[in-house]
Amino acid sequence: MNSEDDLMATNRRDFLAAAVTTVGAALTPGHADHAHDHDHQAVPSDPTLRVKALESLLVEKGLVDPAALDALVDAFEHKLGPRNGGRVVARAWVDPEFKKRMLADAGSAIAELGFLPHQGERIVALENTPKIHNLIVCTLCSCYPWPLLGLPPRWYKSPSYRSRAVIDPRGVLLEFGIDLPPDAEVQVWDSTAEVRYIVLPERPGGTEKLSEEELAALVTRDAMVGVAKISLPHKKGVA
Amino acid sequence: MNGVHDMGGMQCMGQILHEQNEPVFHERWEGRMEALYRAMGAWHKWNIDSARYERCLIPPAEYLGNSYYQNSFLQVRSLLVKRGLVTPEEIESSVPAQGFCEAFARPEAGWRAAFGLWWYCRGAEGGYRRQFQGGTAGACA
């Protein structure tokens, strides 16, 4: 372990040194000391250089295909994401039988809509009611229901959320704008690699006439994590 | 394993910064980093638990000072070296060692493949794959 730590420390230093050299080389001679009123956008940040160096090494060794990386980034940005979860929630709102299956075995229920686990995880759905409010967190890192919500937002992975969600959930909820009545119970669910949770939020009133698709569009990521309630964007005209 | 990563109930970690309309990645390198991590998982050199363990080995002060994806970088780099996919010298120089064995990773079909379900390396019967399984990546036998 010690030797590995040393190794890591050495490599980190060398990477930084290399990065500094590269940044230096990227600057035009004489440019650094002139008075200027523009940003040096052209100079890449340290992590940019380090990740690029690692990628190029792996590509050169044939260990990774840059096209696969492009495809993955595209999937993270455009194909995965809370709209998948929104479809599942809307289906549960309009189809009581589906909702029953969802609460009994979310994995099988979401598979009906074509969503499969990515990492062999089990997904559990938690129903919010006027008396029970569910909140999900991963205190250890960043486990999250990927197939339905995509990658977690930065705050979900932050030390502040991970530490506070379990010790002061009401305070956390208040910060997110949810003021729960004192008689409502808060249940906090700590995710693991094996079990991921998704909150089934309460369906807002005045949405009886909306189609399943319109309902799905109302569902937000934050509501499925349990840090928001769902409201109608324009109350006028719907109710 | 306990450690600084086990944050439930800790205090004084600051305010939660809730960002409206947050992008999936704030900077381009974050997306490349996440993609590298997922794609390299296709070699089945680690599973989710052993990968997480590696992340927990990051020294506490560094772990807390880094962003999520900065920690991913340290985690993945360490996994790659420990599992013999790259050598420390290669990491240091960012170029493959002389006489390294080239592997052939390529996605079979679309983005799902990149999650490691349908990847393979060429020469599974007698070539590259055995090199990697033997943990001797970086030098041809």
Please write the tens of the pLDDT for every residue from A94-124: 999 999 999 999 999 998 998 876 666 789 9
Which residues in B lie closer than 8 A to residue A159 (C-beta atoms)?
A: 7, 10, 13-14, 64
pTM score, two decimals?
Answer: 0.79
Beta strands in chain B (DSSP E): none
Instruction: Provide the chain A residues 16-35 that lie in CB contact (below 8 A) with chain B.
Output: 18
What is the number of residues in chain A? 239
Structure tokens at A183: 């008689």
Q: Is A57 on the interface with B (CB under 8 A)?
A: yes
Instruction: Record the tokens describing residue A163, joined without a space.
Output: 């530490």
* Partner-chain contact A76 B100, CB within 8 Å: no
- Pick from B69, B67, B74: nearest CA to A11: B74
Contact flag A68-B95 (C-beta cutoff 8 Å): no
The answer, for A175 touching chain B at a CB cutoff of 8 Å, is yes
- A139 and chain B: CB distance < 8 Å anywhere? yes
Reported confidence tier of residue B80, pLDDT bands at 50, 70, 90: very high
Instruction: Please count the other Cβ atoms lying within 10 Å of the Cβ belonging to residue A27.
Output: 12
Instruction: Report the SS3 class of residue A126.
Output: strand
Contact A60/B96, CB-based, under 8 Å?
yes
Among the partner residues A63, A75, A160, nearest to B40 by beta-carbon distance = A63
The residue of chain B with its CA nearest to that of A169 is B9
Give the C-alpha separation, B115 to A118, whole Å: 8
Of B5, B2, B1, nearest to B74 by C-alpha is: B5
Which candidate in A45, A56, A108, A142 is catalytic? Answer: A142
Q: Phi then psi for B50, rounded to 5 degrees?
A: -70, -30
Which of A58, A119, A166 to mutate against chain B (most B CBs within 10 Å)?
A: A58
Q: Computed from CA positions of residues A178, A179, A183, A189, in that sequence, does the dihedral angle turn out positive or negative?
A: positive
pLDDT in tens, A18-49: 443 443 333 333 344 444 454 545 566 799 99
- ipTM value, please give it: 0.80
CB B32 within 8 A of CB A127: no
pLDDT for A68 equals: 79
Alpha-carbon gap, residue A229 to A223, rounded angstroms: 5
Residue range B106-123, pLDDT digits in tens: 544 344 444 433 333 333
Q: How confident is the model at residue A13 (pLDDT cuts 50, 70, 90)?
A: very low
A142 is catalytic: yes
The secondary structure element, H or E, covering residue A189 is strand A185-190
Contact: A155, B49; criterion CB under 8 Å: no
Residues A63-89, mean pLDDT to the nearest whole number: 87
Contacts of A48 in chain B (CB under 8 A): 27-29
Question: B81 with B57: CB under 8 angstroms?
Answer: no
List B residues 5-44 in contact with A (Cβ-Cβ < 8 A).
5-11, 13-19, 22, 24-29, 31-36, 38-40, 43
